[in-house]
Amino acid sequence: MKFFIDTANLQDIQEAYELGVLDGVTTNPSLMAKEGISGLENQKAHYKAICDIVDGDVSAEVISTDLEGMIAEGEALAAIDPKIVVKVPMIKDGVKAIKYFSSKGIKTNCTLVFSVGQAILAAKAGATYVSPFIGRLDDISSDGMALIQDIVEIYENFGFETQVLAASVRHTMHLVEAARLGSHVATCPLNVITGLLKHPLTDIGLEKFLADAKKMEV
């Protein structure tokens, strides 16, 4: 399973990268705004800075909602760095844009996916990644994980190459469950990745080993 970090914060990206387990980054307009980035040139520079830290794919989202606008924006984003994946919303023109980018060899991440039908459309259009939002479904008493399971099963039925990218991950068990169900990727904040480290028995065990090691000192 690939781990992507879901942030535009360069320090968090650097920290996850240094842990040695990072396979890529996802951003969205809310995450970019949170970092105080404004203006097209600053956005491009920030995406480039992210690409310079990581080895894998970096999702950058288009703001346009019409086909022409999405194509122009997506091509400009893809020109920033070969690691850029154009993130496109699951709307009618978005599906057309994914088809276009796919025919041009530009990687895409279909975002804001909340149903199996939407995931099938994204795969048919040739999306590289499809992003079902687990947490936002759970927030409204829907079963986000059931959606991951259904998409994985259907993609396997037909050999779709689109990778399932579990998004809107809120806690470690979202990540663990998504892994169990065969999601190809999970994108999550840094605290979810580092949260996987934690177990009280590890801490207690290490404390005891270190105490016993002291007894061997001469």
Angle between helices 40-53 and 10-19 (to 10 degrees): 10
Tokens of 218: 């001469």
Nearer to ligand E4P, 56 or 135 (CB): 135
Can residue 26 be called a binding residue for ligand E4P (CB under 6 A)?
Answer: yes
Can residue 131 be called a binding residue for ligand E4P (CB under 6 A)?
Answer: yes
Q: Three-state SS for 64?
A: coil
- Cβ-contact 84, 60 below 8 angstroms: yes
Nearer to ligand E4P, 64 or 203 (CB): 64
Nearest residue to 132 (alpha-carbon basis) of 192, 187, 195: 187
**At its nearest, how many Å lie between ligand E4P and the CB of residue 142?**
13
**At its nearest, how many Å lie between ligand E4P and the CB of residue 134?**
8
Residue nearest ligand E4P (C-beta atom):
168
Per the listing, tokens 């970019």 go with 32
**Looking at 136, 171, 182, 194, which residue binds ligand E4P (CB under 6 A)?**
136
Give the Cβ contact number of residue 136 at 10 Å. 15
Nearer to ligand E4P, 63 or 204 (CB): 63
Can residue 183 be called a binding residue for ligand E4P (CB under 6 A)?
Answer: no
Kind plus residue range of the DSSP H or E element containing 181: none
**Looking at 7, 8, 16, 28, which residue binds ligand E4P (CB under 6 A)?**
28
- Cβ-contact 171, 189 below 8 angstroms: no
Can residue 187 be called a binding residue for ligand E4P (CB under 6 A)?
Answer: yes
Angle between helices 92-103 and 67-78 (to 10 degrees): 40
User: Which one from 34, 44, 83, 87 is the annotated catalytic residue?
Assistant: 87
Cα separation, 218 vs 183, whole angstroms? 51
Nearer to ligand E4P, 133 or 160 (CB): 133
**Looking at 3, 5, 6, 58, which residue binds ligand E4P (CB under 6 A)?**
6
Give the Cβ contact number of residue 133 at 10 Å. 18
Nearer to ligand E4P, 26 or 108 (CB): 26
87 an active-site residue? yes
Which residues contact ligand E4P (rule: CB under 6 A)?
A: 6, 26, 28, 111, 131, 133, 135-136, 167-168, 187
- Which residues are known to be catalytic? 87
